[in-house]
Structures are given as structure tokens and as C-alpha cells.
């Protein structure tokens, strides 16, 4: 709640200044970024790919304005279904504030564990990201856009996650990302390092009997731009393995994203999330819709 109040204060203050200064307000253009250069929404609400956070900032506005986005994402797996909804605000293509709610439907696994068929594990994620150097498109062709970010995660099912061995119900991830679009080659590349002890991204709590310290994890993405509106690519995300009762595997995906227009982007992916809470081979489809302004 503190994060929400903080974000609200910042957003209200910026809007107040804009309205009070007409010449400044005229510069808040409705959008100037190249299509797809604000990424799509990750399952944690930040701008990036489906699984990996990138250094991109939400919204269509450039350094002259304020942008925003909202997304819904569904991942259907053999034994689980993950739903994510969220919003993000981009300030002058430099700061991103985001919020996402995750719901993991356990289907028959919930019944087997005595929780009830379709029991959902829920999590709130509050994020902030700051671009510190470079630009994803412009400037030195070899200099990436670099950003640092933080995601505070609050698991809403504390009794369940502590029962499976999690040490804590709330946790904070820190990350740094470097992203570059090589226009001549139509290739986008991203590398992210994340400092975390989240189990399954936090849906199974933080830390555990195997390890209760943060570890450095890697997220990598490569995408090829088939046209101005259509991109295909793949991602890899390494994961900590903190719980003895629930082995955790690295994540992979192969995705495609299409810009329906400047404001709507749809993305689909084949995802391999490995083992989740004793259920192996969790492979399936992810679909995400994002509106950006």
C-alpha cells in the first residue's frame, strides 16, 4: 500500500505541474515510440518479454511525455493456470511504476493437497524501474539501454506457502537489464541479472529449507523483427531452487508479438516452466493482450 500511495503522489504531482504549465502540457505527446519498442508485459507486470524483464519503459510516450499501459495475461498449463493483470505508468521514458496481481489456479493439484479443486495462490507485485543509460534504438549502435529495477512481492497465501517450506511470505527482487534493438539487423537482444530468493517468482513464497539467501539469476531474450508490426523470439530465465519439497526448473519460451495498432499489442508463446510444486512437465500456451498509450 505504501508503494501505491507513493506512485499516486508522484503521478498526481506530475499531472498537476503539466496542467499548470500549458506550454509544458503541449509537449506531452500521445506517443512517439517506434512500434513494439515498449515491449510487452511480463508475468510480473514490468515491460519486457513474457518471462523476462527488459530495460524498456511502459507506454508510448517518449522523453517528452507520460505514457501508460494495462495488460491481461493467461498461461494454461497441464496442472495449473496462471492469470496476471496489471498496469504501468512510464514517466518521460525514464521511470516506470507498475502493479500486477498474479493468480495461480491449482486445478486438481489443489484437491490432492487438501486445498480444494481450483484453489488459487495469489500475489501482488509492486515495481519500479529507472533507465540509467543509453537508448534501445538511438545513440551509439553498440550501447544498450540500461535500467535498474525493484519488484516488491506480497504473497497473499501465507499459510499455504509456509506449509510447503517457504521461509517468508513477502520478498523483494532487484534487477538490472540491458536491451538493444539493432535496426539494421532487425534483432533485439536483452540480458537481465536478478537478485532474488523468490520461489516460482514468489507464488510459493521466498527462501526455504534448501536455501534462504538471495542468488543472482539470469534472464536472456532474443527477438527478430519480421516487420514493423510482427516480432518473433525466445527467452530463458534461470531460477533459484530453495524448497526441498518442490524442485524448481528454469523457464523457457518461444513467442510472437503483433502490434494490432499503436495502442494494442497481442502476444502468444509456447512456455516450458518445468516442475511446479511437484508437478513436472508444465508446458503450455501463454496469451497476453496489452493496451498502451
Pairing mode of beta strands 66-76, 81-91:
antiparallel
Exposed/middle/buried for residue 241 (C-beta within 10 Å: 0-12, 13-18, 19+) = middle
3-class secondary structure, 260: coil
Using CA atoms, how far apart are residues 163 and 282, in angstroms rounded to an integer?
Answer: 22
CATH 3.10.110.10 assigned to domain 2-292? The reply is no
Report the pLDDT value the prediction gives residue 30, as an integer from 0 to 100.
56
CA distances from 236 to 208, 218, 253 (A): 24, 8, 7
> What pLDDT is attached to residue 111?
87
Phi and psi (nearest 5°) for 18?
-65, -45
pTM of the model: 0.88
pLDDT digits (tens, 9 = 90+) for 136-147: 999 999 999 999
Give the residues of the chain that fall short of pLDDT 70: 1-30
Say how many C-beta atoms besides its own lie within 10 A of residue 141's C-beta.
11
pLDDT for 195 = 98
Amino acid at each position: 500500500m505504501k508503494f501505491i500511495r507513493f506512485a499516486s503522489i508522484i503521478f498526481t504531482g506530475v499531472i498537476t505541474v503539466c496542467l499548470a504549465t500549458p506550454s509544458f502540457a503541449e509537449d506531452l505527446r500521445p506517443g512517439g515510440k517506434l512500434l513494439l519498442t515498449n515491449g510487452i508485459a511480463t508475468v510480473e507486470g514490468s515491460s519486457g518479454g513474457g518471462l523476462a524483464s527488459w530495460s524498456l519503459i511502459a507506454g508510448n510516450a517518449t522523453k517528452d511525455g507520460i505514457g501508460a499501459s494495462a495488460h491481461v495475461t493467461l498461461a494454461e498449463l497441464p496442472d495449473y493456470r496462471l492469470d496476471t493483470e496489471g498496469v504501468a505508468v512510464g514517466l518521460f521514458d525514464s521511470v516506470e511504476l507498475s502493479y500486477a496481481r498474479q493468480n495461480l489456479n491449482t486445478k486438481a493439484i489443489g484437491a490432492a493437497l487438501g486445498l480444494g479443486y481450483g484453489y488459487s495462490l495469489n500475489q501482488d507485485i509492486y515495481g519500479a524501474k529507472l533507465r540509467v543509460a543509453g537508448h534501445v534504438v538511438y545513440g551509439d549502435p553498440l550501447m544498450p539501454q540500461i535500467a535498474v529495477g525493484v519488484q516488491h512481492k506480497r504473497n497473499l497465501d501465507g499459510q499455504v506457502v509456509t506449509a510447503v517450506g517457504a521461509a517468508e511470505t513477502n520478498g523483494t527482487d532487484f534487477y538490472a537489464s540491458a536491451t538493444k534493438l539493432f535496426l539494421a539487423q532487425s534483432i533485439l537482444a536483452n540480458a537481465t541479472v536478478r537478485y532474488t530468493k523468490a520461489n516460482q517468482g514468489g507464488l510459493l513464497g521466498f527462501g526455504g529449507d534448501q536455501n534462504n539467501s538471495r542468488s543472482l539469476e539470469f534472464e536472456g531474450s532474443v527477438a527478430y523483427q519480421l516487420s514493423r508490426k510482427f516480432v518473433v523470439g525466445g527467452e530463458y530465465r534461470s531460477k533459484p531452487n530453495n524448497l526441498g519439497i518442490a524442485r524448481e526448473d528454469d523457464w523457457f519460451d518461444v513467442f510472437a508479438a503483433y502490434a494490432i495498432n499503436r495502442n494494442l499489442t497481442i502476444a502468444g508463446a509456447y512456455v516450458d516452466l518445468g516442475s511446479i510444486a511437484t508437478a513436472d512437465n508444465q508446458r503450455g500456451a501463454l496469451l497476453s493482450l496489452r493496451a498502451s498509450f
